[in-house]
Chain A
Amino acid sequence: MIRPISGWTLFAIVMVLAFGSWPGFAAPDDKAHGKFSGEYTFYSLSLGDTGPPTKKDTKVNIWMSGSFAAQLYRRLGNESRGESCSEAIEVREKGNLVCSRVRATGEVNCGLGFDLRSGKSVLGMIC
């Protein structure tokens, strides 16, 4: 016997289909807490043409990948759409946090940097 879909269930389905990328929206496999994978690099000057870190100028770039990056991308939401540099990727960014998603593979990576002198964030990814 087929049970009729309740109004709330129908509402939930519609919301998922229509606003699946709402900021704060969590996919079923999203976790509020967990480990993540990534890479880091210390450098000076700025992304794209860097120097070795020095006493006066040390920044760190944190490159995030895996499910954590995918979750960041989802939680940033559609309204954070950023400059993609290429039709092959979609970008979402807020401030200096940048996530890029490869359309063909679905791979997501995110980048965020910090200036260790000032403690302020710096751009995490460039074209």
Chain B
Amino acid sequence: MGNLTPDDWRQDISPDLSNLHPDGLILGGLREMGRQGFGDGPLVLDSHPADVGRTPWTVSDASAAARPAPAGPALNQDWTQLPRLDAIEAGEHGSGYYVYGTDDTERIGTAARGQWGRPRTMEVINAVADRLATGDSYTPLGIGNISLPTGGRFPPHRWHQDGLGVDVRPARTDSAQLPVTYRDQQYDRAATQRLIDAFHATGQVDKIYFNDPMIGGVQPSKGHDNHFHVQIKR
């Protein structure tokens, strides 16, 4: 496969979800990607040379990410994009996951193309969604930032450049697909623990950063009151 343009990935890489039944859309979409045979090849990191003194203030990367990128770093060709599932009632019991932080606004942490990752990352999300779908309790799985398609810096993240880090929302008692911190009344600790456990059960997780001291299997990290960061093993 040669160098890809943004249009190429839209046409060739993103799985066609249009013909899948809504009930099987989320997990089916991920499995479809697996069938396309994207190997877990060598990690490609794009360097960003220092732009000392040349660039005036600009808007955030979020808006830059929303625009096509005709030149510059190539897409990481072994990466895949988490399928966009706007057409379904994502988050229903058994339906897998919903996404957040992917709109085209200029707000920090949102990037239209901020959910690209390595195939193994998608497999982990798939496995977690599978596990939650077969459980007795409804556990919404909200997936946020992963990486940009070209890797590289992803404000406001220190890293999120290798396609192996995934941000996930804690669960809410009202099951709304909205932000929540572990200090909020709407925070559902039991469901959040199920989420954490489901990630660990994949055997592919290196660390999970989250600040609720009552949750097991995590370690605290500044800025992780309202989401947990899952770092997949290399």
Q: Which A residues have a C-beta under 8 Å from some C-beta of B?
A: 34-43, 45-53, 61, 63, 65-68, 70, 83-86, 88-89, 91, 98, 100, 102, 104-105, 107-109, 111, 123-127
Whether A127 lies near B159 (C-beta < 8 A) is yes
- B79 close to chain A: CB less than 8 A: no
Judged by DSSP, the binding face of B is: loop
Total interface residues on B, using CB and 8 Å? Answer: 51
Whether A50 lies near B165 (C-beta < 8 A) is no
- B104 close to chain A: CB less than 8 A: no
**Inside 8 A of B47's CB, which chain A residues have their CB?**
102, 104-105, 107
Inter-chain CB contacts under 8 Å: number: 162
Partner of A124, one of B55, B61, B156: B156
Whether A66 lies near B165 (C-beta < 8 A) is no
Q: What is the minimal beta-carbon distance from B91 to any residue of chain A, in angstroms?
A: 16
Docked complex Cα distance between A83 and B56 (Å): 30
- B190-234 residues with Cβ-Cβ distance < 8 A to A are 209, 221-227, 229, 231
Whether A46 lies near B60 (C-beta < 8 A) is no
Q: What is the minimal beta-carbon distance from B65 to any residue of chain A, in angstroms?
A: 12
- B161 close to chain A: CB less than 8 A: yes
Kindly specify which of B9-17, B106-114, B116-124, B125-133 makes contact with the partner chain.
B106-114
Q: What is the minimal beta-carbon distance from B195 to any residue of chain A, in angstroms?
A: 15
